[in-house]
Amino acid sequence: MAKKSVLKKIQVNNKYTYMCDKPVRIGSEVKLPTPYWMREFKDDTWIGKVTNLKSDYDGVCENVIEVLKK
């Protein structure tokens, strides 16, 4: 039976919260979507570093696109 992935909140760069269902650890590099309102000035994605495996942020969160380095 395949293992069901669990969606959890992680913190990136000590300030941004994203949802992630992939295995990560503190220090992992992740590819993230740029907020829609910044895409006019920035690329559609950016790279961040996981700084916490939990977050108490209760707002809307985007999903991690890809884990680049574990």
Each residue's pLDDT tens digit, 12-59: 999 999 999 999 999 999 999 998 888 888 889 999 999 999 999 999
Q: For residue 65, give Cα distances in angstroms to 1, 31, 37.
A: 25, 5, 18
Cα separation, 57 vs 61, whole angstroms: 9
pTM, 2 dp: 0.85
**In the chain, where the domains are located:** 8-69
β-partners of residue 30 are 48, 67
Tell me, what's the pLDDT at 12? 98
C-alpha dihedral, 49 to 66 to 17 to 9, nearest 10° = -110
pLDDT band at 2 (very low <50, low <70, confident <90, very high): low
Q: Are 50 and 10 in contact (CB under 8 A)?
A: yes
